Amino acid sequence: MTGTEGPALLRVRDLKTYFVTEQGKGTARAVDDVSFDLYPGETLGIVGESGCGKTVTSLSILRLVPEPPGHILPGSVIEFEGRNLLALAAPELRAVRGNQIAMIFQEPMTSLNPVFTVGDQIAEAAIVHQHLSRKAARARAIEMLQLVGIPDPKERVDHYPHQLSGGMRQRVMIAMALVCHPKVLIADEPTTALDVTIQAQILELLDRLQNELGMAVLLITHDLGVVAGHADRVVVMYAGRVVETAPTSGLFEQPTHPYTEGLLAAVPRIDAPRSRLHAIPGQVPAATAWPTGCRFHPRCPYAWDKCVTQEPPQLETGAPGHTARCWLVTEPERRQAKR
């Protein structure tokens, strides 16, 4: 089901989304030249710390970034099935949103409208895109509730968001997103706000639905465990850029970029003797002032003078589908000189 054969469903190239800050603190370059592909039927994980730009990237795809402070720079390309989403007129964009590409968000409580029933909100997508009658849409809503595993769907369809638990609300969000059988589902940290046990259930649900409906999933998360268990390929982001792209197994077996190494090392292991937790020294820099050269160099244990002055491009590591934005790819001997 997964595979990088055939043309990409979603092609993001040179995406730049900047924000204007108040008081002339400069422009926050939240997403600064991001490129990746999403193929039909696969799950692509986007991983990174808070502030790396992954959420803004996902919002940019459907142009949900609030326009006054933020704007997507010309020259950015987001192609879906060959059409540039950034060039679409409003009505055409609306036809894509929720219909071909759907999105679910992190906080299910605030992302659902408190004054409408769950059924109304699910049905709305069907009414807007498929022009179903209210009765037919309501029936669809009940179907969807059943699909996402909510018990007593005929009763629950008339409940309000505040009457549901967190996990159920997220299931409702998923139902709402999938009503029109989109080809792509963007899931922005769907489980971050949920309990650990519920997290597992939701992720399993997403897997099942993906198989049943044959859609591609863009899974954004900061949790490497989630990525390991549910993503086919991974994109690692740091400081507004993609620093490594690889199939999941390749990323975990042979992390190339020092940032990825650091992330993996920071995860405590149950099978290793207890020692001090490893942390990546330093902090994520502010988006208004990215470091020169390679953006990770202030925190990198291998950095040398080339890293400070020249920013590395995406370099092929040799393994299939595995690229990294690091000079260590061309000068692997520098790995010995770890600080």
Partner 1 sequence: MMAWLVRRLVASLAIIFAVVTFVFILIHAAPGKSCGQIEFDVDPAVCDQLTKQFGLDKPLHVQYWRYLAALAQGNFGYSFSLHRPVRDALADTIPFTLQLAGAALVLDFLLGLGLGIYQAGRVNRLPDVVLSHATLFIYSLPTFWLALILMLVFAEEFRWFPVGGPNDAILCPVVDSLYCVADRLWHLVLPAATLGLVGAAGTARFQRAAMLEVANQDYVRTARAKGVPERRVVLRHQLRNALLSFITRFGLAFPFVLTGAVLIETIYAWPGMGRLAFDAILTRDYPLVTATALIASTVVVVGNLLADMLMGVADPRLRVRASADVEIATA
Contact residues: partner 1, CB under 8 A: 62, 64, 90, 94-99, 102-103, 105, 107, 110-117, 124-125, 128-129, 151, 160, 162-168, 170-171, 173, 176-177, 194, 198, 201-202
Closest of 166, 142, 11, 17 to residue 83, by C-alpha: 11
Q: Which is nearer to partner 1, 182 or 293 (CB)?
A: 182
**CB 89, min distance to partner 1, A:** 13
Q: Which is nearer to partner 1, 219 or 263 (CB)?
A: 219
Instruction: Give the nearer residue to partner 1 in terms of CB position, either 6 or 151.
Output: 151
CA distances to 100, 151, 267, 282 from 262, in Å = 37, 42, 9, 12
Residue 97 one-letter amino acid: R
Contact 160, 99 (CB under 8 A): no
C-beta of 159: minimal distance to partner 1 in Å?
9
Q: Which two tokens stand for residue 58?
A: 């996902």
**Minimum CB distance to partner 1, residue 117 (Å):** 8
**Smallest gap from residue 54 Cβ to partner 1 (A):** 17
Q: Which ranges constitute the DSSP H helices of the chain?
A: 54-61, 90-96, 108-111, 118-130, 134-147, 153-156, 166-178, 196-213, 224-230, 248-253, 258-266, 305-309
Nearer to partner 1, 114 or 313 (CB): 114
- For 172-199, the DSSP string reads HHHHHHHTT--SEEEEESTTTTS-HHHH
> Which CB sits closer to partner 1, 24 or 114?
114
Closest to partner 1 by CB, 196 vs 277, is 196
Nearest approach, Cβ of 216 to partner 1 (angstroms)?
17
Helix (H) or strand (E) holding 71: strand 70-72
Cβ at position 21, least distance to partner 1 in Å: 17
